[in-house]
Structure 1
Amino acid sequence: MDNGGHQGSGLAKSAWSDADFDEMGWHDANIHGLSVQATDDILPRLLLDLDYIVRWVRPVPPATHFSFWVSPATLVFADVWDLEGDLEGDLDFKGTIPDLEIDGLHRLVLDDGRQDLPLWHIEGHAFELKFRASGYCQYFRQAPTLISRRALPFTERGGCAFTEVGFN
C-alpha cells in the first residue's frame, strides 16, 4: 500500500486530516501527552500523543475478548483558540491519576459567523476539552500492532512523542 498504509489492520494511509473526519473514530483512544505549542502565527497549535485504535477485532470462539490494531499517533489541531477543559479525579499524586481515555471527538459548526473555526469537543471518561480550531492532521507514527489491550505498552510505543511524520 502507498502512503504508509497497513494491509493487516486496514489502515489506508499514515496521515489523515479533518477531511477524513467521518471515517475516523477516537473511542477508547488513550492520550499519553498534550502540548500547546506557540507558532509564528497568532494562534497556537494543540498536539495530542495518543494510541489510536485502528480496528477492533471480534473474538473468534473459543476466545471471548476483542483484540485491537493500535498505532501511536500525533493529533495536531491548528489555529487553536478559546481552549477550556476539565479533569476529574484524584490529582494529589498520592493515588492514581485517571487515564485520559477518549469517549468521542465531535466537530460542531456554530452559527456565529466563524464557520472556518469549528468547535471541537473531546469527551473523555474523566476529562473534556473544548476549543476552536481550523482543522487537524493525525500522523500514525508506527504501523499498527495487533494486541489484546486498547493501549500499547509505553516502551513499545516509543514513549511520549509529538512527531508529525507518518510511518512508511
Structure 2
Amino acid sequence: MKATWTDADFDEMGWHDCRVHALSIGVRDDGFPWQRVLFDLDYITRWVPPEDGTFTFWIAPATLVFDEAWDVTGDLAPANELLDLDAVHRLAPPDDRPDPLWHLEGHNFDLRLRAPGYTQYLRTEPVHSRHQYLPLTTRGGLSFAENPFS
C-alpha cells in the first residue's frame, strides 16, 4: 500500500464518500504569497463488496494538500451537516495560466481552486471498517500532519 500519493496518481484515485473532518485555508510559513489548502479526511482505499448485503471499507486518515493554491472559491451547506466528498475533478485551465482547476465536489459543499497539483499523505495504514468514516479516537483526532505511515 502506497502512503504518499500525488496528482500523478489522479487516475488511480477516488474520493467518493470520503469524510472531511477539517479544512484549512492559509498562507505558507515561508512568506510566499501562495495559499495552502489542506483537508483532514478519511480516505477510503478500498470498498469491499457485501457478503451480507452491506459494503465494508478499508480506510486511512489522510491529509490532502494543495500547495501554491490560488483563486479559492466555494460554498458550504448549513454548518450542522458533515462534509463528505463525492468527487475530485481535474479540469483544464479556463485561461492561459498553466495550473488546472481543481473542483472538489461534496455532498454538501463545493470548492474550486487553482493549483499545480496535490499531495495526499495516508497517516496510518488503512483499517477495516463497517462505516465510511473513522471515529476521532481511532484516527487520532484531527490533524493536518504531512507524515505518511512507513
Aligned partners of 1:111, 1:69: CA distance in 2, in Å?
A: 36
What is the CA–CA distance in structure 2 between the aligned matches of 1:135 and 1:162, rounded to whole Å? 17
1:111 deviates by 4.5
CA offsets 1:5-50 (integer angstroms, 9 cap, x no match): 2xxxxxxx10000000000000000100111231122201111000
Percent same amino acid at aligned positions?
51
The letter of the residue matching 1:108 is L
Greater share of strand: 2
User: Aligned partners of 1:139 and 1:73: how far apart in 2?
Assistant: 5
Q: Which runs of 5+ in 1 are unaligned?
A: 6-12, 92-96
Q: Work out which of the residue numbers 104, 107, 122 in structure 2 matches 1:125.
A: 107
**Residue from 37, 48, 69 that aligns with 1:46:** 37
Mapping for residues 9-158 of structure 1, pairs under 5 Å: 13-39=2-28, 40=30, 41-60=32-51, 63-89=52-78, 91=79, 97-115=80-98, 117-158=99-140
Name segments (4+ residues, structure 1) moved above 3 Å: none
In structure 2, what residue type is equivalent to 1:150? Q
| Structure 1 CA distance for aligned equivalents of residues 95 and 103 of structure 2 | 17
- In 2, Cα distance between equivalents of 1:167 and 1:26: 19
TM-score (norm 2): 0.95
Unaligned runs of 5+ in 2: none
Aligned residue type for 1:157 = R
CA contact 2:40–2:142 (8 Å) conserved in 1: yes
Aligned Cα root-mean-square deviation (Å): 0.9
Q: 1:33-77, CA deviations, whole angstroms, 9 ceiling, x for partnerless residues?
A: 1112311222011110000000000012xx110000000000000
Return 14-23 or 35-44, whichever deviates more.
Answer: 35-44
Work out the CA distance in 2 between the residues paired with 1:112 and 1:44. 20
The count of corresponding residues between Structure 1 and Structure 2 is 148
Q: CA offsets per residue over residues 92-124 of structure 1, 9 Å max, x none?
A: xxxxx1110001100111251112x11000011
